[in-house]
Amino acid sequence: MDFVVNIEVFATRFLGIFIEAVPFLLLGSLTSGLIESFVKSDDIVRLMPRNRLGAALGGAFLGLAFPVCECGVVPVTRRLFSKGLPVSMGLAFLLAAPFMNPIVFASTYIAFGFGTVFIGRFVITIVVAVTVALVIGIFAKPGTVLKPIAMAGGGAKHSHDDHDHDHDHELASLRDKLLHAVGVASDEFFEMGRFLILGSALAALMQTLVPQESLLALGTGNVLSVLFMQLLAYILSVCSTVDSFLALAFVNTFTTGSIISFLSFGPMVDIKSTLMFTGVFRRRIVLYLILLPFVMNLLAGVLINLALGY
């Protein structure tokens, strides 16, 4: 009986995570297709800042132009990389965009108002995204960061066309460009979708096997509360458009620093996005993209708790 109940719980949680995330993956895939058809490499090169710091700062705010969550940001980032986006700018966009967009601004404001949580989430997201982008961007070249398939723009063939497409090829008409964008989006969606399915299954499995009551008993103290909330964010894999309302349920029992760390770390890295990272970045870079944001968000949350006198 317990086994049957666990299977039902797993299925419910898996579907909840997957159904919540898949529309945003679709949105990101469509955006990727439009970038492929309408944005030229020369445009990227001409408009991007020349220095790493400027590129990283620009990438952190690029989500305002491409409002995607942590599911949709991966295919968009990969497509921008294939168009010549600098590594530091792409990494900052990857980490910051799930929060740095108008939809998540609105949901965070509705849940917490314009106060410590909103400002803390904003500041920590920018600082962590820019710092990680600079660290990796300085010490790594594109060839050591990205998988060859990502540098080539996915490498997928489109069933609606029998020849390879040059990324900067001038298509004959708006209709042709839109058809090309849909073909690219379709390939992107199904390729990244397998990582989303696996990530959603792993997140649901963790939620099913680990009793939340046991975890809640550990969530006290300046350090332990932050550590717990970050691990919870990674396991739950909640979309950044709705995570503020989930975090609101912990306000009366967890420290402010842990709430902010939950809201800043979760959109950067969770189980499903980790699996999606593996389709774009080399293994060593995936490890950096998990550990560096984790440590920096942990330190930020603890410092906030100490500053507030918990």
Return the domain boundaries, the chain: 2-210+271-282
What tokens does 108 get? 């965070």
Which of the four pLDDT bands, split at 50, 70 and 90, describes residue 289? very high
Are 255 and 222 in contact, with CB atoms under 8 Å apart? yes
212: pLDDT strictly greater than 90: no
Least confident of 15-24, 97-106, 174-183, 213-222: 213-222
User: Which amino acid is it at 16?
Assistant: G
Query: What DSSP line would sit under the chain, residue for residue?
Result: -HHHHHHHHHHHHHHHHHHHHHHHHHHHHHHHHHHHHH--HHHHHHHS-SSHHHHHHHHHTGGGTS---TTTHHHHHHHHHHTT--HHHHHHHHHHTTTSSHHHHHHHHHHH-SSHHHHHHHHHHHHHHHHHHHHHHHH--HHHHB-HHHHTTT----TT-SSPPPTT---SSHHHHHHHHHHHHHHHHHHHHHHHHHHHHHHHHHHHHS-HHHHHTT--STTHHHHHHHHHHHHH---TTTHHHHHHTTTTTS-HHHHHHHHHHHHH--HHHHHHHTTTB-HHHHHHHHHHHHHHHHHHHHHHHHHHT-
Residue scoring higher pLDDT (60 or 205):
60
Query: Which pLDDT score is estimated for 96?
Result: 93
pLDDT tens readout for residues 253-268: 788 999 999 999 999 9
The residue with greater pLDDT, 205 or 284, is 284
How far from the centroid of its chain's Cα atoms is residue 170's Cα?
Answer: 31
Write phi, then psi, for 6 (nearest 5 degrees): -65, -40
The structure's pTM equals 0.74
Mean residue pLDDT across the chain: 78
- Listed range (17-21, 34-38, 105-109, 217-221) with the worst mean pLDDT: 217-221
Residue 97, both tokens = 């965009």
Tens digit of each residue's pLDDT (9 = 90 or more) over 227-250:
988 988 888 787 787 788 778 777
- The pLDDT value given to residue 158: 43
User: What's the pLDDT tens digit per position in 59-116?
Assistant: 899 888 776 777 778 887 887 887 778 888 889 999 998 888 877 888 889 888 999 9
pLDDT reading at 216 higher than 70: no
CB-based contact 192:30 (threshold 8 Å):
no
CB atoms closer than 10 angstroms to residue 167: 17
Cα distance between the two ends of the chain: 44
Orientation angle between helical segments 116-139 and 283-308, nearest 10 degrees? 150
Q: Which of 301, 270, 280, 267 is nearest to 69 (CA)?
A: 267
Residue 251 has pLDDT above 70, yes or no: yes
122-125: long-range contacts (C-beta < 8 A, 24 or more apart)?
124/260, 124/261, 124/264, 124/296, 124/297, 124/300, 125/60, 125/95, 125/96, 125/99, 125/100, 125/264, 125/267, 125/268
CA gap 224, 258 in Å, rounded? 9
pLDDT of res. 73: 82
Confidence of residue 191 (pLDDT cuts 50, 70, 90): low
- CA 303, 306, 307, 310 torsion: positive or negative? positive
What pLDDT is recorded for position 164? Answer: 44
